[in-house]
Amino acid sequence: MPDTFISIATFLFGSMVGSFLNVCIHRLPGGKSIVFPPSSCPHCNAAIAFYDNIPIISYIVLLGRCRQCKSPISPRYPLVEFLTGFFSVLLLKTFGFSIEFPVYFVFAASLIVITFIDLQHQIIPDVISLPGIVVGFLVSCFLPHGILNSAIGILAGGGSLFLIAFGYHFVTGREGMGGGDIKLLAMIGAFLGWKSVIITIFTGSFIGAVVGSALMLAKGKDTKYAIPFGPFLAFGAIISLFFGETIIKWYIMGMGR
């Protein structure tokens, strides 16, 4: 029972943070304040009462519509709240009440915001990735991989994507990867270290290639069709965060055969 109560409380905490992340996702691309004014309907600008701002539950009660103007509310809102709650529980189960839990909770929350902004606007705000690099590097002093590993991760993450982007532009004359992706991978390297950068690149690239090819076929587009890469890097980082050590052990065991 105590473990169940802690998990429920952790999920509720995460979903409430997810409600704030929705504000960030909505406002950051437009350069708006994430603090003021209070939450309001994006259609009629009516202020949202506290009882209509309960994570997940309010969306269900309101049937996915604004109480005032009856305009549809994007399902992104309960999805972000659920994902943040889900990852908060998963992080607690994985790392317990250690320094890693709050650090990686902030990291996962940042990836959620970046993912949904990149999906909608195809940009990765510097206001998240650049401070994220600094924070990830500083807190690495208290993490198992250490500050040197973090420093190498920043260089390996940002440097590798920069070289790939430069090479692609040199060969094709087109920009294939934005600067936001480069800074995002540097942030991932800062929080997780250089080994995780490798896992993130391979995992993100593989999933991105599969999904991208499927989208191009479905929409009848060619290779010039722009697909945001940030969400796939974020997905690869999450895989590395929870399964990185297992993947590395599998690889080492495979090399030893």
3-state DSSP of the chain:
CHHHHHHHHHHHHHHHHHHHHHHHHHHHHHCCCCCCCCCECCCCCCECCHHHCCCCHHHHHCCCECCCCCCECCCHHHHHHHHHHHHHHHHHHHHCCCCHHHHHHHHHHHHHHHHHHHHHHCCCCHHHHHHHHHHHHHHHHHCCCHHHHHHHHHHHHHHHHHHHHHHHHHHHCCCCCCHHHHHHHHHHHHHHCHHHHHHHHHHHHHHHHHHHHHHHHHHCCCCCCCCCCHHHHHHHHHHHHHHHHHHHHHHHHHHCC
Instruction: Say yes or no to pLDDT of 114 above 80.
Output: yes
Instruction: Say yes or no to pLDDT of 223 above 80.
Output: no
Among residues 54, 52, 46, 68, the alpha carbon closest in space to that of 19 is found at: 54
Q: Are residues 105 and 230 in the same domain?
A: yes
Q: Are residues 114 and 33 in the same domain?
A: no
Predicted local distance difference test score (pLDDT) of residue 34: 92
Q: Are residues 129 and 206 in the same domain?
A: yes
Q: Are residues 127 and 246 in the same domain?
A: yes
Residue 253 confidence class, pLDDT cut points 50, 70, 90? low
Predicted local distance difference test score (pLDDT) of residue 11: 97
Predicted local distance difference test score (pLDDT) of residue 177: 64
Q: Are residues 78 and 160 in the same domain?
A: no
Whether 92 is in a domain gets the answer no
Reported as a single tens digit per residue, the pLDDT across 191-209 is 999 999 999 999 998 998 8
Residue 255 confidence class, pLDDT cut points 50, 70, 90? low
Instruction: Supply the range of the domain harboring residue 150.
Output: 98-257
Predicted local distance difference test score (pLDDT) of residue 225: 61
> Of 63, 86, 109, which closes a domain?
86
Q: Are residues 20 and 133 in the same domain?
A: no
Q: What percentage of the chain reaches a pLDDT higher than 90?
A: 67
The pLDDT mean for the chain works out to: 89
Tokens 């270290």 appear where? 193
Residue 104 confidence class, pLDDT cut points 50, 70, 90? very high
Instruction: Say yes or no to pLDDT of 221 above 70.
Output: no
Whether 52 is in a domain gets the answer yes
Whether 91 is in a domain gets the answer no
Residue 179 confidence class, pLDDT cut points 50, 70, 90? confident
Which residue did the predictor score with more confidence, 132 or 225? 132
Least confident of 46-50, 64-68, 81-85, 160-164: 160-164
Q: Are residues 46 and 18 in the same domain?
A: yes
Q: Are residues 123 and 59 in the same domain?
A: no
Residue type present at position 51: Y
Number of neighbours of residue 169 by Cβ within 10 angstroms = 13
Instruction: Say yes or no to pLDDT of 14 above 70.
Output: yes
Predicted local distance difference test score (pLDDT) of residue 3: 84
Least confident of 96-105, 116-125, 170-179: 170-179
Q: Are residues 111 and 204 in the same domain?
A: yes
Residue 257 confidence class, pLDDT cut points 50, 70, 90? low
Whether 93 is in a domain gets the answer no
Residue 254 confidence class, pLDDT cut points 50, 70, 90? low
Q: Are residues 58 and 119 in the same domain?
A: no
Q: What percentage of the chain reaches a pLDDT higher than 70?
A: 89
In total, the chain counts a number of residues equal to 257
Domains held by the chain: number: 2
> Of 86, 121, 138, which closes a domain?
86
Q: Are residues 136 and 239 in the same domain?
A: yes
Predicted local distance difference test score (pLDDT) of residue 249: 80
Whether 111 is in a domain gets the answer yes
Q: Are residues 65 and 102 in the same domain?
A: no
> Of 86, 106, 121, which closes a domain?
86
